[in-house]
Chains A and B, each alone.
Chain A
């Protein structure tokens, strides 16, 4: 150990280049990819807080935002994993919805115990994800195409299987309350949390840890950065990709469960825009669509930024179109900043 240290001292000495202020900022952002979305998030909360006062800047309103972004937040965590491998998953929303339908229909149509139905739903989501991963890794098909197809297949299967029938909130509460478990809420001094919100936060923290500190996590980054180089250095690229899509499918199935908690009912038409919304959160969160760079915390902040803008602008009485317009601006700005930061690596 000590000899290694001395070698480092002797050889691996790099001159710190004189970066100047802008360069320092650029470097700092490069090292902490979640910093930009965090700054934007804090700034937008402060601005809306100043404009709206206690109506917005209250534990109640701020935790309401958490509740409103929980589904997108969970799905975006799955999307982040996939995008870190330089892939994309357009089928996330469809997987979430069909998983929720499986949970509901298995309980109400076949009379299975609710725990079993939920397990089936989670398993089903995982299986679709694994199939996506297999088609991409083993059949070498582009992720965009595979998940574009899977999105249609799963959505159509969802409508065929469910006949688009809604299972009502009252029936669920009476016969299978566990389906709504992730919607259960608790108060802490005016702040309202749901189990689903807690799940989202824990999921993000666990994934952040796993991605940073486990071999699997490092492999995900390595595969996304340069799959060939990763393969040559002994990473099981195929296995990593399949596992990433399978885990993404599982997370989406959890999102489907959370969706039941949030809307009370099982509705086959919900969640149609989740794929676009999750990609939006990922991009605003500063994860590179080219893979291998970014942090899952950034995605979480990205989802929250969208939530803050949505609620803030609605409370100000602005036309809902302004929200979409500003989110469009944010997406382009986020990618522009990303490009600028990348120059540091070049």
Chain B
């Protein structure tokens, strides 16, 4: 209840802030996929805090559900009409949104993609995101190192996001396989690998129910699975329930990506072996800073050297560190977690 009140209070302040803002304040827009996912909730908090600090007005928009493209287009149009200086965007449909983004940039707004790169990536002025391939690579390396010699005979279940293969899911999946030491097919899609250690790919929609069902399906295919890659921590929690029902929860290694607080708690409880943690608040606050700089003197946001985006960092969270793989412990992960 306290939390609810606090959230409403924040919402109210934002509202009144928007209503009474004077004509000189710089307006920035934040457009997220949804406003229900804790990841985006944290992102919004980070943006709000930074905007308040810099004396900017932040207007937040969100799709109704993940994949709600139309609402995001309408939000971009609203921001242009509103005279905003810049837009922070986590796109639901990374290629269809490009024409709207171009419209905004032509109107003199700086557009920064947060978390999810547009396709092509240079359709936005910059991308502030987790290196999802690296996030996958870290858990892949950790799993291989933890198994040691047994890695050569591993039976791996790949619990992916969706059949449409959004880039974030592909990058994590392919990063994991590379880190584990498996030859990739086309690195732009998952499911085309020929290594016999992969039992199969299934989709989870990134939630518990999907994770459980996908795990059951793959266990029905091969009950000897001993390594499970999951797209995110809710899917991992679902997979664990399925393994528990099969009596296999203690001899299977589950790895994941995200670093949400329930996920890190699951690492602590041994449900998840290791997870790659990302930092949504940092993405948002850096994004707001970039818009402020653009509004001030037209400075374009800088990219991380050697990458086509600004890397907001990723850390492997585990209490069983493996040799040769850098990681932070659960206590540290808990401090930095979101949601």
A interface with B by C-beta (< 8 Å): 55, 60-61, 64, 67-68, 71, 109, 159-161, 163-166, 168-170, 183, 185, 192, 259, 262-265, 267-272, 311, 314-315, 317, 319-321
Contact = CB atoms under 8 A, between A and B. Distances in A.
B4 A160 contact: yes
A62 B190 CA distance: 29
Contacts of A315: 217, 220-221
A259 B209 contact: yes
Contact of A159 (B36, B163, B209): B36
Interface of B: 1, 3-4, 7, 36-38, 41, 65, 163, 200, 202-203, 207-209, 212-213, 216-217, 220-221, 234, 237-238, 240-241, 244-245, 262, 265-266, 269, 271, 339
B75 to A, nearest CB: 18
A166 B216 contact: no
Contacts of B245: 185, 192
A55 B265 contact: no
A164 B4 CA distance: 11
Taking chain B's interface residues, is the majority helix, strand, or loop, or is none over half, making it mixed? helix
Contact of B217 (A164, A259, A314): A314
A317 B220 CA distance: 12
Nearest to A324: B163
A263 B163 contact: no
A263 B36 contact: no
Contact of B234 (A64, A183, A267, A320): A267
Given A185-B245, A263-B212, A168 B265 contact: yes
B305 to A, nearest CB: 36
A165 B36 CA distance: 9
Given A55-B221, A269-B37, A317-B200, A169 B241 contact: yes
B270 to A, nearest CB: 9
Contacts, number: 92
Given A64-B216, A169-B271, A270-B208, 11 more contacts: A60-B220, A109-B1, A163-B3, A163-B41, A168-B266, A170-B269, A185-B245, A311-B217, A311-B220, A315-B220, A320-B203
B234 to A, nearest CB: 7
Contacts of A270: 207-209
Nearest to A158: B36
A321 B4 contact: no
Nearest to A261: B241
Given A259-B209, A263-B209, A315-B221, A166 B7 contact: no
Contacts of B41: 163-164
B237 A168 contact: yes
A288 B323 CA distance: 63
Contacts of B238: 263-264
A245 to B, nearest CB: 25
Contacts of B4: 160-161, 163
Most interface-central of A64, A271, A321 (chain B CB within 10 A): A64
A67 B242 CA distance: 11
B11 to A, nearest CB: 10
Contacts of A321: 163
A192 B242 CA distance: 12
A158 B65 CA distance: 14
Contact of A262 (B37, B203, B241, B339): B241
Contacts of B163: 319-321
30 contacts: A55-B220, A55-B221, A67-B216, A71-B209, A161-B4, A163-B3, A164-B38, A164-B41, A166-B208, A169-B237, A169-B241, A170-B266, A183-B241, A185-B245, A262-B212, A263-B209, A263-B238, A265-B237, A265-B262, A267-B207, A267-B208, A267-B234, A269-B36, A270-B209, A271-B209, A272-B65, A311-B217, A311-B220, A314-B221, A320-B202
